[in-house]
């Protein structure tokens, strides 16, 4: 009979802990602010009980936004965790190698420039896929490893960033305004259908993410060791890239380029778990918590002004990144 | 040795490894051309030869890390590239030359990687897995260091930890690429003695070895490789002659028997005048 060993129970404890934190943040997000609702009333309103105003406020305004934060945070963090591990480099997150910028450029184009009837999420996904194909194609031969592909990705990202700015500068004020959230990262003006797209993408890809994490884990040792331990390198690489592009594209369509989550959440998850695993699920949970926390702060800390979540994460995440790099200068590789 | 009764040995059914007209190379360059080789089961085979002769390339080919340009490798009679990677990993373990551990990974955590091919998608880590991991750590004399991070122990200890990982894979076949190349004499002997124990317990071992005297002392079967072709193959005492050494390395020497253990010694080696 196979039974679990104690040393391996800790990931479940950690997940439970993170879920509790997330639940606390959800309750906070539901009840915070000067709307006159108590915590109890807010929770009841989630299930449709209470007066019409409360139900409208919670079900139509707050809950969708909380769900959007949870989904986009999880997606960005899982994508970041996978790509960092594949590239064996902490810096190799989707936003650093230009996927966010590619998705943003295409999303903005769908609003200001191109008269296409395609939905924004589909275009954002196309953008992320294009950026990924360019970054990997131009660094052909060196594979998903080493600095060459990261530097190539930074270049691709810069081109797409410039393209976005160019489109915004050329367009009229109204279109530029409606495209603005995608350039800073905000959960305020999210397109309705983007939540469903991202939800479906997460449900589809998280099992694959957990599956490839096992092979990715052995690939950290070296490709030859991974093959010796039964991993399929090519299959793992392709699956990882597909999942990363899918999650990044759809989360950018929902929330804009909030790349710092992809950098910080896996880092935090790794520091909480043992070095012998790729903490995909905990990274996702941490990502959800960070995103929700940042969005709540952005909404209420400076009220009546609302600060976009992308600015909050950048203000907090920037110094955090510097701290990580200062703390472990020799540990930029994974 | 408790090892012989332990969980490491009892499940081993020998597996055969055969190269058929195998051609290997990188890009346009062909390094091994139509090589055929049968690995003797439950013995230690050492692949020797000068730098660049294709020793490591051959080992990579046998371990399916390198795809053949022509010919095939047969594991238990079936082409190794047509079998599922995980199934192959249950029969054949590999210790490559280049391997690096993530920061903070401990000895035990590394050795646990060896159980990966035996675990399914949803299969939980079991007591049997843990027992095998502990046996492998004991065999590699690493009990005292089991909880230490790999980057905090010495090179010899680290090499034993990697060896323990491949042992925990509990495969009948074990392929080692220069397992002692960076170690001092004491640690070299320690690793070779572990390898000998594994062979006695029923494992088939193929190793690339630089040091010809170590190969003579610990291997049952030697494959001498030059420019990608086998120029001699057999038991050390049958094939190691001063003629072969000259052919392989361009070195003149005398060969005598070690008075203490009967192994072969190379003395008076100097570059061949030719």
pLDDT tens digit sequence for A45-101 = 888 888 888 888 888 888 899 999 999 999 999 999 999 998 888 888 898 888 999
Counted residue by residue, chain A has a size of 334
- Which residues touch B182 (CB under 8 Å, ≥6 apart)? B155, B159
- What pLDDT is attached to residue A334? 61
Specify whether the CB–CB gap between B195 and B218 falls below 8 A. yes
Q: Which sequence spans correspond to the domains of chain A?
A: 68-331
For chain B, percent of residues with pLDDT exceeding 90: 65
Beta-bridge mates of residue B70? B23
Q: How far apart are CA A68 and CA B118, in angstroms?
A: 39
| pLDDT exceeds 50 at position A9 | no
In this prediction, residue B164 carries a pLDDT of 95
Q: What is the mean pLDDT of chain A?
A: 84
Q: What pLDDT is stored for residue B233 in this prediction?
A: 94
B88 pLDDT above the threshold of 50: yes
What fold characterizes domain A68-331? Answer: ABC transporter involved in vitamin B12 uptake, BtuC (1.10.3470)
pLDDT tens for each residue of A231-247? 998 899 899 999 999 99
Give which of A229, A278, A327 to mutate to test B binding, by max B Cβ within 10 Å: A229
Is the confidence at residue A117, as pLDDT, over 70? no
For residue B173, the distance in angstroms to the closest alpha carbon of chain A comes to 11
Q: Predicted confidence band at A168 (pLDDT cuts at 50, 70, 90)? A: confident
What's the ipTM?
Answer: 0.89
pLDDT of residue A3: 38
pLDDT of residue B127: 86
Q: Write down the pTM of the prediction.
A: 0.86
Alpha-carbon distance of A198 to A190, in angstroms, equals 12
Question: How confident is the model over A147-151, as a mean pLDDT?
Answer: 80
Tell me what pLDDT residue B121 has.
66
Of B93, B127, B128, the CB nearest to A228: B93
SS3 of A333, please?
Answer: strand
Residue B128 and residue A211: Cβ atoms within 8 Å? Answer: no
> Residue A24's CB: how many other CB atoms inside 10 A?
13
Residue A224 in contact with partner chain B when CB distance is under 8 A: yes
Please report the pLDDT score of residue B58 as a whole number: 95
Q: Is A10 on the interface with B (CB under 8 A)?
A: no
């Amino acid at each position: 009979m196979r039974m679990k060993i104690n040393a391996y129970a800790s990931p479940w404890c950690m997940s439970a802990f993170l879920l509790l934190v997330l639940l606390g943040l959800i309750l906070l997000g539901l009840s915070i602010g000067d709307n006159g609702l108590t915590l109890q009333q807010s929770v009841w309103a989630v299930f449709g009980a209470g007066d019409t105003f409360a139900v409208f406020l919670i079900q139509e305004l707050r809950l969708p936004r909380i769900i959007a934060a949870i989904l986009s945070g999880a997606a960005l963090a899982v994508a970041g965790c996978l790509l960092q591990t594949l590239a064996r480099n902490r810096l190799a997150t989707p936003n650093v190698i230009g996927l966010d910028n590619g998705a943003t450029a295409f999303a903005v184009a769908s609003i200001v420039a191109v008269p296409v009837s395609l939905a924004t999420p589909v275009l954002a996904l196309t953008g992320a896929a294009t950026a990924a194909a360019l970054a990997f194609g131009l660094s052909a031969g060196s594979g998903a490893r080493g600095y060459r592909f990261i530097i190539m990705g930074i270049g691709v990202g810069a081109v797409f960033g410039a393209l976005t700015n160019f489109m915004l500068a050329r367009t009229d004020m109204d279109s530029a305004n409606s495209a603005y959230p995608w350039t800073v990262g905000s959960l305020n003006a999210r397109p309705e259908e983007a939540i469903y797209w991202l939800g479906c993408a997460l449900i589809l890809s998280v099992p694959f993410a957990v599956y490839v994490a096992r092979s990715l884990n052995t690939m950290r040792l070296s490709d030859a060791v991974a093959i010796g331990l039964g991993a399929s390198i090519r299959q793992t690489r392709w699956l990882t890239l597909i999942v990363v592009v899918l999650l990044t594209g759809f989360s950018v369509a929902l929330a804009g380029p909030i790349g710092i989550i992809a950098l910080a959440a896996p880092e935090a998850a790794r520091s909480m778990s043992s070095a012998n695993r790729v903490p995909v699920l905990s990274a996702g949970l941490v990502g959800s918590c960070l995103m929700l926390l940042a969005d709540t702060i952005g909404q209420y800390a400076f009220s009546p002004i609302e600060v976009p979540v992308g600015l909050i994460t950048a203000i907090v995440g920037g110094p955090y990144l510097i701290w990580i790099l200062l703390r472990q200068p020799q540990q930029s590789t994974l | 040795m408790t090892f012989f009764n332990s969980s490491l040995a009892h499940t081993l059914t020998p597996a055969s490894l055969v190269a058929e007209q195998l051609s290997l190379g990188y890009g346009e360059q062909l390094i091994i051309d139509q090589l055929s080789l049968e690995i003797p089961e439950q013995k230690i085979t050492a692949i020797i030869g000068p730098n660049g002769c294709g020793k490591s390339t051959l080992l990579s080919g046998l371990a399916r890390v390198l795809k053949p340009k022509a010919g095939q490798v047969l594991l238990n009679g079936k082409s190794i590239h047509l079998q599922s990677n995980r199934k192959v990993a249950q029969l054949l373990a590999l210790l490559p030359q280049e391997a690096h551990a993530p920061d903070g990974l401990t000895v035990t955590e590394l050795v646990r990687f060896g159980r990966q091919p035996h675990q399914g998608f949803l299969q939980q880590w079991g007591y049997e897995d843990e027992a095998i991991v502990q046996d492998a750590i004991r065999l590699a004399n690493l009990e005292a260091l089991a909880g230490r991070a790999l980057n905090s122990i010495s090179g010899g200890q680290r090499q034993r930890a990697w060896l323990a990982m491949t042992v925990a894979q509990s495969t009948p076949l074990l392929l080692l690429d220069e397992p002692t190349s960076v170690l001092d004499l004491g640690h070299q002997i320690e690793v070779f003695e572990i390898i000998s124990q594994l062979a006695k317990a029923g494992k088939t071992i193929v190793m690339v070895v630089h040091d010809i005297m170590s190969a003579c002392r610990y291997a049952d079967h030697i494959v001498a490789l030059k420019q990608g072709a086998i120029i001699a193959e057999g038991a050390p005492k049958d094939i190691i002659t001063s003629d072969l050494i000259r052919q392989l390395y361009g070195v003149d020497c005398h060969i005598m028997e070690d008075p203490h253990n009967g192994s072969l010694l190379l003395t008076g080696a100097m570059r061949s005048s030719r």
